[in-house]
Amino acid sequence: MPRGSSAPTRRALIGGAAAAALARPAIGGTPPRVVVVGAGFGGATAARCLAAGGIDVTLVEASERYIACTGSNAVVAGLRGIEAQTFGYEALGRTGLRLVRATASAVDPAARRVTLGDGTALAYDRLILSPGIELRFDAVPGYDARAAEAMPHAWKAGAQTVLLARQLAAIPEGGTVVLSAPANPYRCPPGPYERASLIAHFLKTRKPRAKLILLDAKDTFSKQKLFETAWAKLYPDVLEYVPLAAGGQVSEVDPAAMVVRTDFAEVKADVACIIPPQRAGAIAAQAGCADRSGWCPIDPATFESRLVPGIHVIGDAAIAGAMPKSAFSANAQAKVCAQAVIDLLAGREPEDPRLINTCWSLVAPGYGISIAGVFRPHDGLLADVPGAGGVSPLDAPDAVRAQEAAYGESWYRTITRDVFG
């Protein structure tokens, strides 16, 4: 791969050389087979790249349609509809890959086989897992899957997002919203703060006497100065931020009474959005790829599991060093991983990759902020490339904020087209 790019290498882009190498019969005379589990930002991208490289690839996805989390905070705040987040898999099915609508229920790494919910077995030479996250319903006392029907997490987009949006729209005048953010690591580090911003915008413009209390299980967070500067300017009377040091960690919830407790206080909420701690999607743990942290350690150049040879883990499920759990990261990791798999199957040494992540957050309509990073393998992890990346300027005119909001929207259109066609 050309250094400084997260795109597939020239070999993969050209396709011909890789395809020719792969056209050679593999062991036993059959071409190598790759199975990809999960057709989200990571898995769908990896499967597309592999198909473009001439690989026999089967993509297994449990859902009928993909509903993107990216942009879903705007849905919560009534700024866009859930349909703007929803993508079909039709175009993916036309790329030469085999799309199987099923849940992968078990992986047998010794036999190199994935079993689906209906008992069908898929053999693989290499397996890529991109299952996203599971919510840890055992982590906050009182908060389980049933409690999430009263106090939505909305951290997997879809019915939960719509539920939270409805609850917010129905909040009484002078009501209280409680939003909790978990400790690191979790899906989308700036996500809770973008959500707080857009809920605050909703309250300011629609229910001006209502309040938002943001309870945080940590003291520092992504783009903190940018968020706090914006909050002081836009939402001084709406949003109260409570960091860990001031008692922000949620110790218990009571969904029947709509009460959220910390070690220091008890808050009665009209709307409570509890974002619990998370771990890698269940199939990653079943396959033996997750360690005690609940996440999956990987080789930073190939995304091959450190625990189970022949299985690669990308996206939110992976421990990717300094690289945050984002859609942009999952998409970049998928491209690097797909090329590494093509190289490994062809008996070539994978190249030393560079990966990029940029994350835009919307603080209000027409007010965006961003953070960017470049990452490379270093000491067995993905590390920041010194001097690369950065955050948008703290003191920027409104025109710059408007431009950043437009960039974010434009990135969303581009990446979803790249992933889903």
Q: Report the interface residues with ligand FAD, using CB under 6 A.
A: 37-43, 60-63, 66, 69-70, 72-73, 103-104, 130-132, 155, 187-188, 191, 195, 281, 283, 315-317, 325-328, 330, 359
Q: Which residues contact 24 (CB under 8 A, 6 or more apart)?
A: none
Taking the complex as a whole, the smallest distance from the CB of residue 131 to ligand FAD amounts, in Å, to: 3
Taking the complex as a whole, the smallest distance from the CB of residue 195 to ligand FAD amounts, in Å, to: 6
Q: Where are the beta strands (DSSP E) in 155-290?
A: 176-181, 211-216, 239-242, 250-254, 259-262, 266-268, 271-274, 278-280
H or E element at residue 285: helix 282-286
Residue with CB nearest ligand FAD? 40
C-beta closer to ligand FAD: residue 49 or 346:
49
Taking the complex as a whole, the smallest distance from the CB of residue 328 to ligand FAD amounts, in Å, to: 4
* Separation CA 41–CA 159 (nearest Å): 19
C-beta closer to ligand FAD: residue 87 or 235:
87
**Which residue type, as a one-letter code, is found at position 308?**
V
C-beta closer to ligand FAD: residue 30 or 63:
63
Taking the complex as a whole, the smallest distance from the CB of residue 134 to ligand FAD amounts, in Å, to: 9
Taking the complex as a whole, the smallest distance from the CB of residue 344 to ligand FAD amounts, in Å, to: 21
Q: Which residues contact 179 (CB under 8 A, 6 or more apart)?
A: 192, 195, 196, 199, 212, 213, 214, 215, 272, 273, 275
C-beta closer to ligand FAD: residue 227 or 328:
328
Taking the complex as a whole, the smallest distance from the CB of residue 73 to ligand FAD amounts, in Å, to: 5
Cα separations (Å) of 131 from 42, 61, 91? 9, 9, 20
Q: Which residues contact 142 (CB under 8 A, 6 or more apart)?
A: 252, 253, 254, 255
C-beta closer to ligand FAD: residue 179 or 238:
179
Instruction: State in Å, rounded, how far the first CA of the chain is from the last one.
Output: 23
Placement of tokens 């906050």 in the chain: 140
C-beta closer to ligand FAD: residue 18 or 412:
412
Taking the complex as a whole, the smallest distance from the CB of residue 174 to ligand FAD amounts, in Å, to: 27
Task: Report the alpha-carbon angle 278-125-4, nearest 5.
Answer: 65
Cα separations (Å) of 382 from 28, 90, 159, 175? 36, 34, 34, 44
C-beta closer to ligand FAD: residue 61 or 216:
61
